[in-house]
Structure 1
């Protein structure tokens, strides 16, 4: 192929001149296949229907479902006909993959308790919502602040009792 030329969309082959078909009916020869396949990826938010596929592949309605008659009642089809209804002479096989790409997620309304019991803290309460080193370190910093706040309030209570003369 000369430099700068376009890459072909299909490469067609035949049996080499020195290969005899013999008694084989499949005629695959040394390549071990004897077919021309066209692969088309289609991304669609809705399931594909036969009329959409026929437009892509250029199959007219009269031939699409294997009808040889040209009467309009036989050539017309409804928009809800499936791809499997198309004649096997036009589409030998197809595979339809239905993706469930995004799960339904609902906003969090509750989180795990940070304080599980006196002097027992759970610093990973945000892990089910967001899991990063930064949030874990912020959670640890917040727990340290809560512990300090508890100590200060206990100290202030004891100091108040001492100043009032009750703690003597």
Structure 2
């Protein structure tokens, strides 16, 4: 997968003109993951760390979310030790201070659940992810942006996993 990503970056660099806005970035945010089933919702809190590369209105991101805290619902404790993703982001108007991005990607989320009495279980959910993101550049530091993302990490017949994050992004 890394080789394919490097080939993609090389292709984007070849298509790049001298006036294009391109470069790596990092983003950090607390994220609330909502696990929704027919029985109810739980909302574990995560740390969302992303490394990406942007070229004009296109971006590729590697995301890793690690746990801060778990959540309980009717004596069921739900925890997400790790969620990893690769996202493609398209931003239509990169010249504006407020940008809207459409997000498409692939995610893998590990969910652990424990009742008061054993047995505990763990399952990994993976599939296509999609969402929308908003970014506002700071006037005093244009490389620093405030970001807000809404992403569906997994959509199944009986379970959906969504994430909401609010944080910062710094462009190098």
Task: State TM-score, norm by structure 2.
Answer: 0.19
Task: State TM-score, norm by structure 1.
Answer: 0.20
Greater RCO, CA 8 A, separation 6+: 2
Greater Rg by CA: 1
**Structure holding more helix per residue:** 1
**Structure holding more strand per residue:** 2
